[in-house]
Every structure is written in structure tokens, then in C-alpha cells.
Structure 1
């Protein structure tokens, strides 16, 4: 207890911010907890163990728990139909999605639960549909329009991993349709009450989160200000819970760890891809090594909040971190506590200088994604494939690795192995060419019929701007920068969802005469969408 008390006492000063709440459990028993700072800076209300915060994407594992529980213990209405509960739920996919998405694709509910569906993330797509970061999104009004515009996959179901909130939005709607009950009611009956989560509930509308907690954007240098949220989440996120609720949940997790009759015991088993390779994500639970220790975990993010829960099945250690700040790193807090608890030393690696040819932009033709490589600190490379650059340690002159990727450079080809995605990218270096002073050929309007989006490009020289129109309105202007010949990055540091998609890759398409006829736009969450110049 003394050691845990000392570790938790260090957390507020190491991870500075408005406020937070942390708990550590061992063998299902509370070892220690720490609440610090303020739930509301303006009204001087302290953070407390009973303060309700949105737990955001941690909701996903509870939604999947509800799905598994309904398959094993159907409602009376489901039993009365006489069909297998799992079939009733999967049959709803055909009612929600474009028939072409289901025809001869083998898409299943399990693909959705494991983020292996190949369906693009709809919160990334809201950028292309003209959403403003502080705009409104309604499950009832906008949800059906969103689903109607999903007409293709960006990879074959079951073959790869790509995080997509869309998967869990669909699961939630299937559950509501089959049971005829509101999602919040089912979660309360089958998840919160059995787990002893006394104050947890579904609060789908982020504009109506319970007082007093406020989520903050900003930082200590420029100041903190309340994050504005006006969107609805119901399945992919939406649950609010206190630290006390999450302590009860972790005690339920520990009790259920080896129980094959428990939804958590079933859902926490490691999943696979269609090729038999092990998958690190399944049923809203991610598997990650921390200092060589396996943790089963998930984070959560909403504008103004960062959260994490993790459980080490071998050590039977649970760590919950709830922060009401945009730039907090709840996962880093959790990892710090676990490493301190177990005495994992900080790695001391030999510094190896990278070869001189790494820097530049590369394009993977299969995904349509650009990868940028820059030099980092001593013995480090900064490789940007996802939202932000990944620090990779150089292990050989032309080989570098991080916890999630291995990069090798072979001449002009960058090979990027991403085990979590079950994919290896083979990206070719893009010629670094300064854009023409007259970029009028790129200016104009482009339309993607598949998702019903219009892209407008304006500007001059190497200062281009891009903006999107769609069923959510006319979106804000995004700055663009050249990555090389006919390759641009469109920056998206703020969007409806938090965390935002980051850079979108814009590939210029030309006909045989060299005339611009279209662009291909995509990000790691939503790849290869074809826009035709109007």
C-alpha cells in the first residue's frame, strides 16, 4: 500500500492538467486511488471519486458484452421468434447496410466487433460530409444518412484491422432493432447492475453530460478552456461513469477473467484474422505489452477528455485513469503506474544513427496513403502513418522499430510492417518537386458520388486550401501542403471526433494528356475515395 500511495502521489505533477482520477486494483481488491485537481476550474469544484465523466470508447467493450449476453441469454421477445439469437442480430445487418456491402463479402457481426469489417470510420468521413468540429450530429437524424453513404470497403472483411466507430454504431442499432428496447435500458440491466456500477448510465448527447465535470481543451502555456461537444454517441461511445463505477467494473472483470460463462471471459479471448494470424483487437478490447507484461485494455477520447482502463490477466492488476483534459495521455499514465509497480526499468538502448536516405515522402499505392519520414532525436526517426508521427528507434542503419511498427528502407522503397493492422505497406519514394507557382490546374470542384461529397480546392503556388460539402453542411477550410509530385497532405487537426483523423492524403490523377481529372482522398481510417473534377 505504501508503494502504491507513493506512485499515485507522483501522478498529478508528472501528468499536469486540470484534474484527474486514478485507481489501482490487485486480485480484485482496491490497492489505492487518487483524485486531484478540479472537475470545474471556473466554479472551483474538485474532482472526486463520484464525479461522472464520459468514458467514451471504453463503451465499446460494454456494448460487445451486451451483444454476447443477448446471444447467450436472449430477451423473451427474441426467444418467442424461435430463431437463433445470433442469427436474429446478424440478419439486421441487411436492414441497415447497402445490400452490395453484404453480397458475397462474408461480412459478419464478429468482423464488426473486431474492427475487421473494412468499413470506413464515419467520424473521419464527417470531415468529407462538411461537418464543423463543434457541429451537431444526431443518431436519429444523421445516422441513417451516414449508413446510406457506405457503399464499399477499404479492405476485404476479416483480412485486416482498421479502427472504425462505424462498426459499433451498427452493432448498437442491430441490438435496438432486435430487442425493441433502448440501448441505455439494456446496458443498465445487463452490464451496469451486474457489475455493481451504481451511477453509470448511457448519456448519448454530449451536450447534456451530467454536471459538474467539464472537459478542457488547451494547455498550461496558453490556458485551458471548455471543450464544446454537440454530438451523439450511442454504442461506439456514450457511457458516463465515475471512478467508483469503474472500480466496480474492474472487480467484475477480475471475477470474470476465467469464467467461460461470462461475457467478459468469452470476449477477452484473443481473436484471429481470416488467414489465421492472431489479432490484437477483439470485442472492444485491445491487447498490448507494457514492459513485457500483457494488458487487455482500451482508451477513450472526447474533446476535453482522455481516459484509459487496463487489466493484466497474469498479474491480476487493473488500472483506471480518467482525465478531463484534451492533451492528457491517460494510456501513458496507466503504463507509468504499471511499470513503477512491477519495477520494469526504463530501456537503455544503444544509439544507432539512421542512414542518410530515410527522409522524405512515400506513397503506398494499395492503400493510397502517404507516409512521411523525418529525423527525430538521437537514434530516432519520426514516421507518420497514423494521426501523428511515431517515434521509431533505429536498430540498424536502414531499419527502425517502435512498439507497433517495423520500418525498413530498401533503396526507394519503404517497407512498413504494422502487425496490429495485419498489413505490410510497400511505399515508393515520391519525387520532391516544388509545386508550380501557378497551381490553377488543381483549383476547382471535385465530387465523390460514392459518399456524396464535394471537395473544393483553391489557392496559389504551394499554398492550397481544401474544403468539403456534404449532408452535414459546408465544412471549414483546411490547409494543404505539398509532399511531392502530384501528392498533397490536407491537414485536419480538429474534427467532430476526438482524436481527429490528422492528415488526409490527396493524390492528383491525370489523363494521358496530363490534364487533372480527379483526386483520390483518404486517411488511415478511411482510405481511397475517388473524386472526379467537375
Structure 2
């Protein structure tokens, strides 16, 4: 591929107007060398402090690949105190203490399952909603983390068989690494990652309410205005690093050196493996692998209220892109835009296909107990599916079939088939009938779903209030009394509970609430879950 450095700079200068907000910083590297960067806007709008390449941003979940790189370094070069017993054996022994030992001994949970996002653990930030949290609820590691980990009593899928994002994996990894090394994560990062990578100002900063000045993250939009985003959580390992654009450029150089060094084991270590059923995984050691046209890429995003971040590496071209925003525009979309412009990757045009009307509506997958909603796309020849944390756009290949790089879907009457390649899961969902539809058998006036429900696993309470189709869901738990969440009826006894703002960013999205009745038609429980945390039973009291 011929490379045009002037084109790179032109592309980067378009980013601010396409992804509008208070400010940002972007960079592109080729063959381990910086070929273009651009910074703009304000780190602090009230004080008119500009963003520079030295301003520290919280890089949030990008921290996960640093933890994974650290783990591999510890395996190759264990500290002297660990030479008597293998690192992996010590980590596994500690894992049995942090989570229920049967997860390891009976379900086969491994340390690699944690860094490969296939552990089956539910996401602890999502679970905070079920504990009565609010977006500005404080979360302190010493005060709250032991209680949250104590409540991990089951898995929502068998380890090693599928992918589901869970910050809990890396929260647990910190407990393992610090216990085994007898050293802090901050010290280990400084010695083993930041030093070799020449990241001069990067450091661990777990408290989101104490981020280094002058950076301020902003919620809002150009239409409604921007305002500082309040954050009061403490995290570490699942996120927690702060780094400047200069630091991230240094990291991309370091990453490229390690990845292209034939004598370095890092490249092989981060190559995706197979799930236990033989299917190919796409997430490995803190890196998500995804195709962009004909190119294989790897990287990770990050988010906190007021911040969106992304780094992505095109292996075959040795091409890196870094995007740092202190607002809520999509950094992954910006990174993809930059790469597509540089690599001349274009989307295939939509086919002149009209979807059959059976596509549209709400469905329920009985195994995950999660809802799937399908609606027309923004342009002809496309549809949108809402299953994870937001809508995904699929391109129609014929009237009954649609696909994206990660999803294959088809509709057969009232049955929706979805194959999620990233997740390694096949969904077979049935259409949900509204009360007025033929075949709908539920008379909600006879046995209302309103009431109080209790979950033994989370030790929290769900309260359903309201009337008709305007219901509210409230949670009480270890964080106190949570706010009312608006609920929307999908059909039959299935509702979605809105959760657009949470403690770290927008992790849960909508929760599916499935009310379950006994043979007499009385509601006895509510099954509540989202993609990040599925199938938790709340019994009616």
C-alpha cells in the first residue's frame, strides 16, 4: 500500500468537525513512526484551557490491554519471590479464593478466560444498577469491592464457550496479580510497561473524581449544551490509567516493535484462540480483533461519562490510530473513519432489497431470556437489531436474510434466527405478541406484575410500580434506594427497563424483565438480565 502522509493530516483535520464537542486528540502511526497528529478544542471549557498532546486523559478500558501485557511479562520474567512456584499455579490458587472455588474446579474457569472475556462472570458495573446505584453513586475499592465480589455466586454461561464483556474479569485480575507479586499494579506498570515503552507521564489513577488537571469530561450535545460529567467511581485494572497523546504515541511504537519482533512471544500470545467448542474467538488478552474490509485490526475502546477513547492497529500494514475525546462522540467510529479514509476502504452499497414485514417487532430468546427488537434501517436495504448495548445495523442480502461483519440474521415467520460471531452464540427468538394480537393469552388485569421482588444472589430488591403500559422499575440494594427506571412493554409478560446512564458510562443499556407465572396465572418471579449480566431471578414477595 502506498502511503500518503499529507492525506493523513488532511483526514485528521476533518475529525473535529465530524465528531463535534469540547475537544480531542488524534494520531496516526505507520511502521512504528508518527506520521500525523492533531489536537483541538478545550481540556477545560470554563477556564479556556486548550488540549495539547501533553494533557492526560483517562484511557479507561484501554487499560485492559496494559494489564494483559503485564500478565504476559510476569509469566516470562517472574519476580524472584515467585520462582519457587509457577506464576500460573499461584494465580489459579488465588482465583479459587476470590471467586467461588467451584467455578474453577467444576466449571473449568481459568485465568486466561478472564483476559479473553469468556469467563461467564457478570459485569459488576451493570450489577450496580440492581444494587440501587445512581449515575453519581460513589464506588470505592476498599469499601464496596469486597461486597460486590462476595455476591458473585453463579455464572451466566459456561467458561470458555462464548464471549461476553465483563469488567469483573479485570477487577479480579488485579486481586490476583497484586496478591501473587506482593506489589501494586501502579508500580508494576511503571517498571514493566511505561518504562520500556517510554510513556513518560502515564500512570495509574483509579479515582475518577481525582483525575489530573486540566482535563474535564463533558456530557451533553451541541443542541442541548455541554456540562461537566460527574464521576465518583474508583476502578483499577478494568480501567484506571491516564495517558497523554504523547504517551499513547509512545505506546503504539512499543506495541509495533513487540508485534513485529520475530523473537518476541507477544505476537503469538495475543493471536486469538479457539473456544472450547472449536469456534474461533475474536478477543484475546485485552484486544478485540475485527476485520475492516480486507484488513485485520486489533484494539480496544474506552469510555467514562464525558470521555470516549479508542486505539486500533492494522497488523498487515503496521498502521495505528489513537483517538481521545473529552466528550461523548463515538471514538470507535472516528477511528474507523480515519482508517477507512487512509486505506481506501468503502462500504458495499445496500442491495435493492425490501425486507419482509415479519422482520419488525420484538422477540425473546428463551435461553438467554433477553429481548431482541428489530426495526427498519436508516436507509433502504438495511435493518437495525437491538440486543446488546445499542442498535446494530445489518445489510439485507435478501428479503429474509441480513448480515454485518459480526452478525448473521434471518426471519422465518415469527422466529428470528441470529448468529452472533463475536459472542459465539446462536439465538432463536420467538415473536412477542401484544394483548390485541391473535393468540395472546395473557390478561394482565387478572394478575398484575406490579409488586416487590427479591433476588437471593444479589441480595437486592426490585419494585415494580405504575399502571397500564407506564410502569417503573426501582432497585434497592447495597448502594441504597435507586431511582425509578422507565419500563416499556414489548409483549406478553416481557418488558424492557431503561438504563441509559450508569456509574461508569452506559454499560447496561436496556434490561429485559420477564415476568413468570405459575399454573394458576399468578406472577411468581421476574427474570431480569442484560447482555452484560443475564438471567437473575427475583422472586415475588
**Is the structural similarity TM-score above 0.5?**
yes
* 1:252-276: CA deviation from partner (whole Å, max 9, x where unpaired): 0110013466464243212221112
2:324 alignment counterpart: 322
Question: Unaligned 5+ residue runs, structure 2?
Answer: 437-441
Task: Answer yes or no: is the 8 Å Cα contact 1:52–1:241 preserved in 2.
Answer: yes
1:338 alignment counterpart: 339
1:17 alignment counterpart: 21
Inter-partner Cα distance in structure 1 for 2:64 and 2:446: 45
Inter-partner Cα distance in structure 1 for 2:435 and 2:405: 33
Inter-partner Cα distance in structure 2 for 1:501 and 1:288: 23
Inter-partner Cα distance in structure 2 for 1:22 and 1:399: 38
Task: Answer yes or no: is the 8 Å Cα contact 2:350–2:381 preserved in 1.
Answer: no
Cα offset for 1:475? Answer: 1.1
Matched, 1:73 2:77: yes
**Alignment partner for residue 6 of structure 2, among 2, 10, 31?**
2
User: Where do 1:33-182 residues align within 5 Å?
Assistant: 33-79=37-83, 82-182=84-184
Cα offset for 1:91? Answer: 1.1
**Alignment partner for residue 508 of structure 2, among 487, 501, 504?**
501
Inter-partner Cα distance in structure 1 for 2:444 and 2:118: 43
Matched, 1:31 2:32: no
Matched, 1:479 2:489: no
2:439 alignment counterpart: none
Aligned to 1:94, what secondary structure does the other structure show? Answer: helix
Which range moved further: 398-407 or 129-138? 398-407
Aligned to 1:403, what secondary structure does the other structure show? Answer: coil
Inter-partner Cα distance in structure 1 for 2:266 and 2:320: 14
Inter-partner Cα distance in structure 1 for 2:447 and 2:415: 31
User: Where do 1:438-477 residues align within 5 Å?
Assistant: 438=445, 441-477=448-484
Task: Answer yes or no: is the 8 Å Cα contact 1:68–1:263 preserved in 2.
Answer: no
2:521 alignment counterpart: 514
Aligned to 1:117, what secondary structure does the other structure show? Answer: coil
Cα offset for 1:284? Answer: 0.5
Cα offset for 1:291? Answer: 2.5
* 1:135-155: CA deviation from partner (whole Å, max 9, x where unpaired): 111111111111110111111
Inter-partner Cα distance in structure 2 for 1:19 and 1:447: 45
Aligned to 1:288, what secondary structure does the other structure show? Answer: strand
User: Where do 1:185-264 residues align within 5 Å?
Assistant: 185-259=187-261, 262=264, 264=266
Inter-partner Cα distance in structure 2 for 1:43 and 1:267: 45
* 1:389-423: CA deviation from partner (whole Å, max 9, x where unpaired): 21111111111112321110112110001000001
Cα offset for 1:72? Answer: 1.5
Inter-partner Cα distance in structure 2 for 1:134 and 1:55: 20
**Alignment partner for residue 499 of structure 2, among 492, 500, 503?**
492
TM-score by length of 2: 0.96
Inter-partner Cα distance in structure 2 for 1:108 and 1:531: 29
2:290 alignment counterpart: 288
Task: Answer yes or no: is the 8 Å Cα contact 1:39–1:47 preserved in 2.
Answer: yes
Task: Answer yes or no: is the 8 Å Cα contact 2:376–2:383 preserved in 1.
Answer: yes
Inter-partner Cα distance in structure 1 for 2:270 and 2:324: 22
Inter-partner Cα distance in structure 1 for 2:352 and 2:483: 43
* 1:190-209: CA deviation from partner (whole Å, max 9, x where unpaired): 11111110000000000000
Inter-partner Cα distance in structure 2 for 1:233 and 1:157: 24
TM-score by length of 1: 0.97
Task: Answer yes or no: is the 8 Å Cα contact 1:436–1:462 preserved in 2.
Answer: no
Task: Answer yes or no: is the 8 Å Cα contact 1:392–1:401 preserved in 2.
Answer: yes
Inter-partner Cα distance in structure 1 for 2:309 and 2:422: 21
Inter-partner Cα distance in structure 1 for 2:46 and 2:70: 38
1:297 alignment counterpart: 299
Which range moved further: 467-476 or 314-323? 467-476
Inter-partner Cα distance in structure 1 for 2:264 and 2:175: 23
Which range moved further: 436-445 or 16-25? 436-445
* 1:92-146: CA deviation from partner (whole Å, max 9, x where unpaired): 1011112332331110001111011001111110000111111111111111111
1:532 alignment counterpart: 539
Task: Answer yes or no: is the 8 Å Cα contact 1:439–1:459 preserved in 2.
Answer: no
Aligned to 1:279, what secondary structure does the other structure show? Answer: coil
Inter-partner Cα distance in structure 2 for 1:330 and 1:520: 34
Count, aligned residues? 531
Cα offset for 1:215? Answer: 0.5
Aligned to 1:309, what secondary structure does the other structure show? Answer: strand
Which range moved further: 256-265 or 41-50? 256-265
* 1:314-367: CA deviation from partner (whole Å, max 9, x where unpaired): 0000000000002x1111111111111122234323231100211111111100
Question: Unaligned 5+ residue runs, structure 1?
Answer: none
* 1:155-182: CA deviation from partner (whole Å, max 9, x where unpaired): 1000100000000000111001111111
**Alignment partner for residue 425 of structure 2, among 404, 423, 426?**
423
Aligned to 2:411, what secondary structure does the other structure show? Answer: strand
Aligned to 1:420, what secondary structure does the other structure show? Answer: coil
* 1:437-483: CA deviation from partner (whole Å, max 9, x where unpaired): 85872121101101211101110111110011111221111010100
Task: Answer yes or no: is the 8 Å Cα contact 1:226–1:304 preserved in 2.
Answer: yes
Task: Answer yes or no: is the 8 Å Cα contact 1:439–1:460 preserved in 2.
Answer: no
Inter-partner Cα distance in structure 2 for 1:318 and 1:337: 10
Which range moved further: 194-203 or 139-148? 139-148
Over aligned residues, Cα RMSD in angstroms?
A: 1.4
Cα offset for 1:502? Answer: 0.8
